[in-house]
Amino acid sequence: NAGVTQTPKFRILKIGQSMTLQCTQDMNHNYMYWYRQDPGMGLKLIYYSVGAGITDKGEVPNGYNVSRSTTEDFPLRLELAAPSQTSVYFCASSRAGENEKLFFGSGTQLSVL
């Protein structure tokens, strides 16, 4: 059972480039989330989704977009990368009725230079 899978694990972008961080889960969880983790700052919620076709903003959505066309996949899109988006990104999912128990992927370390 793979759980939550994120790709890529590492990526370096130039300012202004775009990319998509992939996230897929095989646990049939309704809820999925994207967090970013900055050093000494804890995790901040970027976007979340309560089911296919439904997404909503979290605490720090600016500069990002998401889509949820299937239950399994929840990609995060950076359109115009900026140095402030250098961070570690975590995708997570949870089961309906157990939203406090998040299952996390292993993260994507992104550097924007």
Partner 1 sequence: AQSVTQLDSQVPVFEEAPVELRCNYSSSVSVYLFWYVQYPNQGLQLLLKYLSGSTLVKGINGFEAEFNKSQTSFHLRKPSVHISDTAEYFCAVREMDSSYKLIFGSGTRLLVRP
Q: Is 106 in the site for partner 1 (CB under 8 A)?
A: yes
φ, ψ dihedrals at 91, nearest 5°: -100, 145
Q: How far is the CB of 47 from partner 1 (least distance, A)?
A: 11
- Of 48, 85, 87, 112, the residue at the interface with partner 1 (CB under 8 A) is 48
Q: Is 110 in the site for partner 1 (CB under 8 A)?
A: no
Residue tagged 């967090």 (tokens)? 35
| Residue 55, number of CB atoms within 10 A of its CB | 18
73 in Cβ contact with 23 (< 8 Å):
yes
Return the residues of window 7-46 that contact partner 1 according to CB under 8 A. Answer: 31, 33, 35, 40-45
The Cα 65–Cα 69 span in angstroms is 13
Contact residues: partner 1, CB under 8 A: 4, 31, 33, 35, 40-45, 48, 50, 58, 90, 92, 99-107
